[in-house]
Amino acid sequence: MAARTLYTAGITGVGMSFPEKRLTNAELEKLVDTNDQWIVERTGIKERRIVEKGTGSSVHGAKAAEQAMEHAGITPMDVDMIIVPTVTPDMLFPPTAGLIQEKIGAKNAWGFDLEGACSGFIFALQNARAQVEAGHARRVLVIGTEVMSAITDYEDRNTCILFGDGAGAVVVERVDESRGGIIDAINRLDGSGAKYLHMAAGGSLNTPSAETIAAKMHYVYQEGRDVYKFAVKGMAGITAEIVEKNGLTGADVDLFVPHQANIRIIKAAQRRIGLEDSQVCITIDRFGNTTAASIPSALRVALDEGRLKEGHIVVLCAFGAGFTWGSTLLRWTAP
Ligand code: COA
């Protein structure tokens, strides 16, 4: 039996916030044995933004949320729920959702953090959609926010070139069914991927100690080549799946907004459904991989560039640690 839904959910506001400080490839050349040409050719990244030390994820998360609410034309008191996908919460508990709630004054909201690594945003979006469709919430803030610099080893050239800090947020709310809104989502989890990409210490398994710090277990560990293979297969596959499942082809897609992990992974997904460059939103050159913040902030960039209009067919997709991956199909619902 098909799931019973009462309402239609759509994205009606988007926001982003990034720290001012830029970390360029030239600066990384001074930290590790790498060079601008290698980084640009292998990843597409030219620079990323980095917070001042001691800035928690809630800071830019709150700013992105404020811009998303302003765009949607709602006030903090209108928000019923806050979901914060992040791998870098301010603290392991309490939830960063509450810290952001306090900063923005969304006193009527409840909420929680969601850990879905680089797929966190689209997992959270599916949760927000379900709450709105079921009538449990009218307006949900989904805020992907990361301080990846806090868990990045700037002596490890395999990882330090990839990540950046920042935040992106959307307002998901009830919209008229005729406008489309969020149409479909496919989400997946495969825990056998944990060994390839993780942060080993800081949780309950390896509690912080002098040994875990000496062994650099509080930093991102990644077997890049393996992750790359899974990511290409996962992202391209799940993008094609959602497009075909809904009787569409690449020609029907107005904008493809993929998680920004590596330009070559994005191109593979793009080729799989036959998209032109003009149909794809790329921000990795300026922001690097911002984990759960990459898709919502890319949506804001696309909006500012005039590439998101009422009725546009938009496809989101992500792949990340876990492994986690997924795609979302929506018809754009301007505020
Ligand atoms: N600068 C210069 N050389 C580097 C380097 C760097 N920053 N990092 C690695 N290298 C070297 C390697 O040591 C290797 O040298 P070798 O051939 O002498 O052994 C060579 O470059 C190729 O390394 P490899 O790891 O095969 O490169 P790659 O083409 O796979 O690119 C990544 C590395 C990390 C960019 C790529 O694997 C990747 O993007 N993986 C997935 C990342 C991802 O999506 N992660 C998150 C999921 S959200």
Catalytic position from the list 259, 262, 281, 317: 259
Burial of 37 (0-12, 13-18, 19+ CB in 10 A): exposed
CATH superfamily assigned to domain 181-331: Thiolase/Chalcone synthase (3.40.47.10)
Segment 144-202, tens digit of pLDDT: 999 999 999 999 999 999 999 999 999 999 999 999 999 999 999 999 999 999 999 99
Outline which parts of the chain fall under CATH 3.40.47.10. Answer: 8-175, 181-331
With 70 as the cut, is the pLDDT of residue 3 above it? no
Q: Is residue 232 pLDDT above 90, yes or no? A: yes
Across all residues in the chain, what is the average pLDDT? 97
Q: How many CA atoms lie within 13 A of 303 on its CB side?
A: 24
Output the six-digit token pair for 38: 């290698």
Model confidence over 306-327: pLDDT tens digits? 999 999 999 999 999 999 999 9
- % of the chain at pLDDT higher than 70: 99
CATH of domain 8-175: 3.40.47.10
| Residue 91: predicted pLDDT | 97
State which of 32, 119, 158, 233 you would mutate to test the pocket of ligand 1, scoring each by most atoms of that ligand within 8 A of its C-beta.
Answer: 158
How far apart are alpha carbons 118 and 259 in whole angstroms?
A: 7
Cβ of 34 below 6 Å from ligand 1: yes
Is the pLDDT reported for residue 1 higher than 70? no
Q: Is 289 a catalytic residue?
A: yes
Phi, psi of 293 (to 5 degrees): -90, -10
Closest CA to 57 of 151, 179, 130: 151
60 is annotated as an active-site residue: no
Clarify whether 118 is annotated catalytic: yes
In our burial notation (b when 16+ CB lie closer than 10 A, e otherwise), range 252-281 reads: ebbbbbbbbbbbebbbbbbebbebeeebbb
CA distance 166 to 293: 6
**In 10 A of CB 210, how many CB atoms?**
7
Ligand 1 pocket, residue 38 CB under 6 Å: yes
pLDDT digits 0-9 by tens, 35-71: 999 999 999 999 999 999 999 999 999 999 999 999 9
Pick the catalytic residue from 25, 127, 262, 289: 289
pLDDT over 80 (residue 213): yes
Residue located via tokens 């809904």: 246
- The pLDDT value recorded for residue 2 is 60
Q: How far apart are CA 102 and CA 56, in angstroms?
A: 14
Q: Catalytic: which of 60, 118, 281, 317? A: 118
Residue type at 60 in one-letter notation: H
Question: What are the φ and ψ backbone dihedral angles of 188, each rounded to 5 degrees?
Answer: -140, 155
